[in-house]
Amino acid sequence: MSRIIGIDLGTSTSEAACIVNGAPKLIPNTLGKCITPSVVHIAEDGGILVGESAAEYLFTRPDCTFMEVKRLTGSGEILRAHGKEYSPEEIQSMLLRYLAGCAETWLGEKISRAVITVPAYFTDAQRRATAKAGELAALNVERILNEPTAAALDYGLANLKECRNVLVYDLGGGTLDVTVLELFEGVIDVKASRGNNHLGGKDFDEIIMAALADSGGDERARMRLKKAAEDCKIALSTGEAYQVSLPFLLTAKDGKPISVEKTVSRAEFEVWIREKVESTREPMLTALSDAGLSPADMDVILLVGGSTRIPCVRRLVEESMSAASQSLVDPDLTVARGAAIQAGLLEGSIADGDLVLTDVCPYTLGIASMHEGLYDDRLLFDPIILRNTTIPAEKSKLYHPFTDFQTSVTIEAYQGDSSDIEDNEKLGEVHLTGIPPARRGKEPIEVVFAYDINGILQVKASVVSTGKNISADINTTGVKPRPALDLTKWESANGARQYRPAIRKAEKKIAEGYDENGDLQIVVRRIKEALLLEKGQQAASLRNDLLELLELMK
């Protein structure tokens, strides 16, 4: 069998690695570097540039140069260059093909197999889209591996004798992943994952950009502004202040040039990003409580991703946990190294007994099912696989058609944690026909959810009495992930005013450290979500929960 390479396909940067003499080795690109910017430029004649040489075109040809495409994975969005249309998967495949090509040159052999990493919190649609990108790059995707789990593999291989509780905090260019796992003499047991697919360094860049200037619709000015903002952010990780200088950035209406000259201090920057950084505390606490652990139980914290170099991000992680965060792994390269280790386990270049890995499904998966209510019938979310179940997992449940003599049903699969299906994400649906007509409640239907080791779901349904069954890979292409809610805007939601006193009181308690197990934070977040989604009833009932919690704390 041929060799398998590991690829960290990142929002900002990508890396590839493979096993050489039993250890992970980073693969240099055509410029001899191990880190490749995730940028693709498509030339007029269809020629493709990837990495640093493509990044140069961000300023001169932003119309046919693509960056941060990972955030569009699985969105169904269309990208355009020279009048041609491209899916995000096609652009991602160009990056993958480039990295595989670099590996071919470096190793002197053909590469057709890869392990590709994704954020643990990636949805089913995003995982499928990533696998599709691999396929378009002529790669057999042998495994889709969760990024924090990859970091744990890298740490685990270097520390085979250790028995410890580990928290991986991965804040990259576009995503946040938090994973809690137990390491026991080479056995890596992932307990829980939590995160945010729309939070990362690019959001910090955007905050700085907004503070510097308004680029209007001028794409070139926007790119210059973005570059300056990122330079500023990175400089502030070590320095106390940074001078941004952008001469002749824009032309005003009267034809006069507009330049930007501004000094940004670290203290100022920390205030700007405070709310976003604070918002990463909740996923840490939720992952811990899902794992049945408390901050005091954690022995090791692995900081992964370029954005963990920001001092106030580190401070937040340290404050929230008992163990001091340490640079125990390389924040930029550890995910690719872990992907290579997984590749090594699959190809046999690392002995199976050395490292054993279990991972979890980060979302609750289930179907929409009709429930008879006192006043009306309601469609509710009925969980089948609970979040943080060890994978692969197969679970089944019995249902009945809702009306008399119904001969077909549509089974709609959702992921999420709310009983209200509207709040969860629809993954797709399958139709089961040929149900023998019977009185309601008489003809059971079995629904089976199979969630595989790549995090991809298959749904099967069968009529128990006849054995007639259908099985479908849920087709999720084209299902748009729900846009992430900006919780900081909750106060402008309809009817938010009457919630302010309770939320303020709870936030004060949280700030004073009364919310040890994070319950208050969760309820506050859910109220804000409900308000933003204009779910008044839900918000009201959550407020009662919150008031009860506050009462208990007195």
Ligand X SMILES: Nc1ncnc2c1ncn2[C@@H]1O[C@H](COP(=O)(O)OP(=O)(O)OP(=O)(O)O)[C@@H](O)[C@H]1O
| Residues near ligand X, by CB under 6 A | 10-13, 38, 70, 172-175, 200-202, 230, 233-234, 237, 305-307, 309-310, 332
Distance CA 129, CA 395 (A): 25
Nearest residue to ligand X, using CB?
A: 201
Work out whether 366 is an interface residue with Mg ion (CB under 5 A). no
Distance of closest approach, residue 93 Cβ to Mg ion, in angstroms: 18
Distance CA 109, CA 6 (A): 15
Residues 172-231 that bind Mg ion (CB under 5 A): 172
Report the residue number, 124 or 170, with the smaller CB distance to ligand X.
170
**Is the Cα dihedral 51, 54, 57, 63 positive or negative?**
negative
Residue 1 Cα to chain centre, angstroms: 32
Report the residue number, 10 or 134, with the smaller CB distance to ligand X.
10
Question: Pairing state of beta strands 409-415 and 365-371?
Answer: antiparallel
Nearest residue to Mg ion, using CB?
A: 172
Q: Would you call 292 exposed, middle or buried from its count of C-beta atoms within 10 A (0-12, 13-18, 19+)?
A: exposed
- Residue 481: name its binding partner from ligand X, Mg ion, none (Cβ under 5 to 8 Å by kind): none
CA distance from start to end of the chain: 65
Report the residue number, 74 or 518, with the smaller CB distance to ligand X.
74
Report the residue number, 336 or 530, with the smaller CB distance to Mg ion.
336
Place of tokens 């992970």: 24
Report the residue number, 6 or 200, with the smaller CB distance to ligand X.
200
Collapsing DSSP to helix, strand or coil, 82 comes out as coil
**Is the Cα dihedral 40, 41, 46, 47 positive or negative?**
negative
Report the residue number, 233 or 426, with the smaller CB distance to ligand X.
233
Q: Which window, 21-29, 33-41, 165-173, 441-449, contacts Mg ion (CB under 5 A)?
A: 165-173
Distance CA 457, CA 475 (A): 10
Distance CA 7, CA 216 (A): 37
Distance of closest approach, residue 235 Cβ to ligand X, in angstroms: 8
Distance CA 11, CA 175 (A): 8
Question: Pairing state of beta strands 187-196 and 84-86?
Answer: unpaired
Work out whether 10 is an interface residue with Mg ion (CB under 5 A). yes
Distance of closest approach, residue 69 Cβ to ligand X, in angstroms: 10
Q: How many residues bind Mg ion (CB under 5 A)?
A: 2
Distance of closest approach, residue 7 Cβ to Mg ion, in angstroms: 11
Distance of closest approach, residue 117 Cβ to ligand X, in angstroms: 8
Report the residue number, 238 or 390, with the smaller CB distance to ligand X.
238
Distance of closest approach, residue 175 Cβ to ligand X, in angstroms: 4
Q: How many CB atoms lie within 10 A of CB 184?
A: 14
Binding site for Mg ion (CB under 5 A): 10, 172
